[in-house]
A and B are shown apart, each in its own frame.
Chain A
Amino acid sequence: DTAVSQTPKYLVTQMGNDKSIKCEQNLGHDTMYWYKQDSKKFLKIMFSYNNKELIINETVPNRFSPKSPDKAHLNLHINSLELGDSAVYFCASSQSSYGYTFGSGTRLTVV
């Protein structure tokens, strides 16, 4: 069983569209995250949720809206996609900082 699973793995879409990325973890962790990896491989946190509550919201455009229906799921919805949104998005989970487990990533390409 995959510990942190993301879907889809690849996403190609046109500018202006709205898309969602789903993430699920089966580790029982309380905290989940979204990270963005840009074309230069730089990884930056976007959001974190703890037990469905938003904890960290870095300076991310409000076109990005995370949603956590329960502590095992953290989805990322993106409105009005722009070329600059093209990146790899990683979901992760952790329990009291004793280790962060990452998903395999979603490569988003906006054309």
Chain B
Amino acid sequence: AQSVTQPDIHITVSEGASLELRCNYSYGATPYLFWYVQSPGQGLQLLLKYFSGDTLVQGIKGFEAEFKRSQSSFNLRKPSVHWSDAAEYFCAVASPRNEKLTFGTGTRLTIIP
């Protein structure tokens, strides 16, 4: 069964600092990998996705993620965070066969001035 682990429940960074959110997955083959962001009271917005090919994926809002098969990881990065990046971030994995999207428990990002 597929699963996702986001080891950091809550991360606080200063505005302008760099950010890395961790995500580890468990799946027997190469999965489809996603990062979603949820602002308070809002729905889920897709930041980026990985299906195959280049392991460094660029997304919206200046985010990028790197797929590392050897580490079963898909960490999200941003070189300089903005106050508007404060939100809940979810990593997710999908099986190419049944399209079931499984989410991690999320990481809450707080930005301090």
Contact = CB atoms under 8 A, between A and B. Distances in A.
Interface of A: 31, 33, 40-45, 48, 55-56, 90, 92, 94, 96-105
Nearest to B105: A42
Dominant SS among interface residues on chain B: strand
Nearest to A56: B100
B42 A31 contact: no
Contact of A55 (B32, B94, B98): B98
A72 B23 CA distance: 33
Interface of B: 32, 34, 36, 38, 42-46, 49, 51, 88, 90, 94, 96, 98-103, 105-106, 108
Contacts, number: 54
25 contacts: A31-B99, A33-B101, A41-B88, A41-B106, A42-B106, A43-B106, A45-B100, A45-B102, A55-B98, A90-B43, A90-B44, A92-B44, A94-B99, A96-B99, A97-B32, A97-B94, A97-B96, A97-B99, A98-B51, A100-B46, A100-B94, A102-B44, A103-B43, A104-B42, A104-B43
